Amino acid sequence: MPDSQPDALLIDRPAKTLRQLALEKMREAILTMKFRPGERLVERALCERLGVSRSVVREVLRHLESEGLVETIPNHGPAVAAPEPAKIAQIYELRSMLEALAARHCAARATPADLAALRTALEAVRAGYAAGEPFTVLAATAQFYEAMFRAAGRQVAWELLVALNGRITHLRARTISTSGRERDGMAEMQAILDAIIARDPDAAAAASVRHLQNALQLALKQGPAESQSHSPN
C-alpha cells in the first residue's frame, strides 16, 4: 500500500508573507490617497499600524521606493513621493505617444473579443466610480489600457508603461480624486472606445491625446502636500 504521508521534500506553497501583505496594504493606502504626496512615513508608527516589525517596514518602503511611490528626503527620511512638475509632464508625454499609438492600431485591428474586453473594463471603471471605490477604478482602468495595447499588438510599448506603473498609477489616483473627474474621465475614455469600435484610427488617437492632456493639467494643479508625519491614530 503506498505511503499516504507527504514527501518530506515537497515544498508547501506558503500563503502571502507578512512582507507581501504589508506591501499591498501600503501600496493601496498610497494609491487611494490615505497617505498624501509629501507625507512623511515614520517607521515606528507604521510598525504599530501594520502590526509588523521594523525590518519588514523597511523592506516595504525600499520596494515602494523602487516603484516610485516613496522617496527618501535627506534629513527627514521616507515620504510619499511628490513628483516634480517636469517629471509629471514627461510621464504624460510618454503616455501620450504610446497610448495614442496603441489606440490607433487597436482601432485598425481589434477583434470582437478585444472589443468585449474593452467594454467590460470600462464598465468596471464606471462601477468603481459609482461605488466610491477608487482602488477598483484604478485596477479597472489599468485593465482597459492593457486590453487596448494587447489588441493593438503593442506588447513592447505596454511593457515600457508597466515599468512606470507605480508612478502612472499614483498620478492617476491623484487625478481621479478631483471634482468632476468621474464625469469627464468616463466621457473621455468612452470617446476612445467609441472611436475604436467605429474603426477610426485617427479619432481614437486624438481622443487618447485629449484624455491625457486633460489628465496632465489636473495632475499639475495638484501640488505636493505639506510634509507631515503619519501618526498611528
181 pLDDT tier (thresholds 50, 70, 90): confident
2 pLDDT tier (thresholds 50, 70, 90): low
Q: Average pLDDT, whole number, for the chain?
A: 88
Q: Give CA separation, 67 vs 60, 74, 165, 166, 191, in Å.
A: 11, 19, 8, 5, 31
Co-location of 70 and 91 in the same domain: no
Per the listing, cell 481614437 goes with 204
Q: Is the pLDDT of residue 10 over 60?
A: no
Q: What is the mean pLDDT of residues 204-233?
A: 74
pLDDT of residue 15: 59
Other C-beta atoms closer than 10 Å to the C-beta of 39 total 20
The tens digit of pLDDT for each residue in 38-84 reads 999 999 999 999 999 999 999 999 999 998 899 999 988 999 998 88
What CATH number does residue 133 fall under? 1.20.120.530
pLDDT of residue 65: 93
Phi, psi of 35 (to 5 degrees): -110, 125
Out of 36, 65, 80, a domain closes at 80
Out of 80, 100, 128, a domain closes at 80
pTM: 0.78
What CATH number does residue 59 fall under? 1.10.10.10
* 126 close to 134: Cβ distance less than 8 angstroms: no
* 161 close to 91: Cβ distance less than 8 angstroms: no
* 184 close to 214: Cβ distance less than 8 angstroms: yes
Q: Is the pLDDT of residue 225 over 50?
A: no
pLDDT of residue 86: 94
The winner for highest mean pLDDT among 26-30, 209-213, 217-221 is 209-213
Counted domains in the chain: 2
Q: What is the mean pLDDT of residues 146-158?
A: 97
pLDDT of residue 226: 40
Per cent of the chain over pLDDT 70 is: 89
| Domain limits for position 178 | 85-221
Co-location of 126 and 47 in the same domain: no
Give CA–CA dist 58/23, Å, rounded.
10
Other C-beta atoms closer than 10 Å to the C-beta of 232 total 11
